Amino acid sequence: MERGLVLLVAALVVYVTPSVQGTAHLSFSNDTVDITRTGCGVSKLCVESPEDCDPAGGSGCLFASVTATIPVAPNGTTLSIELRGESSGFIALGLTANVSQGTTLLFICGQNNLTNGSFFFRTRERINPDSASTANERIVTDIRGMVNGSVIKCEFNIPNVNATNIASRSSHATTAVIVLGNGTANGTDVGAFTIIRDSGPLNLADPASNVNGTAANNSGGAVQPHAVLLLLSVLSLLMLRA
């Protein structure tokens, strides 16, 4: 039976206690969450498994897109996330500097099997490379989610993301590894997280950073948009001085 219930949240804060996570007041709507490949590589950075799968209708497609605010504010950028996958428990997007060390911030969208598959949202912290995670306090805004059978879809914003709060050692303030995966859930209690896709280091502010082998350090040789703007500025300055 289709469950088109969508969770709309103006702001969510997960408060960390030894065993309890509290949330802000929740409101509900019967709208749907539509996630497509439109804009991939142009206006949004897309990561998926299997490669180039269709989140709008492809069975087995685990898909995420990231859109970063430009320019980056002094305290970081806001990331707008789309996440789609299939699970009887939860799907998750993680941000980390290195999947084999440090930590991963997990943003979890799941279905509550104790309440007829209603949608729930959690933030967690994973100690790499363990599969287990612990409660983590993280402000997330504008959460929308829906469950339809085994398909889970959600959208949310992560404010103030920078190299410090994703434990990145990169000099680029918006460089991070995106991990996608899933796991089991008992009600809203989540089990171990299993990684299905590891993107490698990407510039989250560049929608084309994983296109044609240009991920991470842009070693593929493609000219990035910010490089073109810089080149045009230099050429204009030289022409004015001529």
In what side-by-side order are the strands of the sheet with 103-112? 133-135, 118-127, 103-112, 90-96, 175-186, 189-203
CA dihedral 10, 158, 88, 113 (to 10 degrees): -40
Instruction: Determine the Cα–Cα distance for residues 220 and 115; give it in Å rounded to an integer.
Output: 48
Q: Is residue 188 part of a domain?
A: yes
Q: CATH number for the domain including 86? A: 2.60.40
Q: Is residue 186 part of a domain?
A: yes
* pLDDT tens, residue order, the chain (242 aa): 444 444 443 333 332 222 223 333 343 444 689 999 999 999 999 999 999 999 998 789 999 999 998 777 777 889 999 999 999 999 999 999 999 999 999 999 999 999 989 999 999 999 999 888 998 888 999 999 999 999 999 999 999 887 666 654 444 568 999 999 999 999 999 999 999 999 999 999 999 999 864 433 333 333 344 333 333 332 233 333 34
- Rounded to 5°, the CA angle 114-117-120 comes to 90
Instruction: Determine the Cα–Cα distance for residues 57 and 78; give it in Å rounded to an integer.
Output: 28
Report the domain count for the chain.
1
Per the structure, the complete domain to which residue 182 belongs is given by 6-241
Q: Is residue 1 part of a domain?
A: no
Instruction: Determine the Cα–Cα distance for residues 31 and 142; give it in Å rounded to an integer.
Output: 14
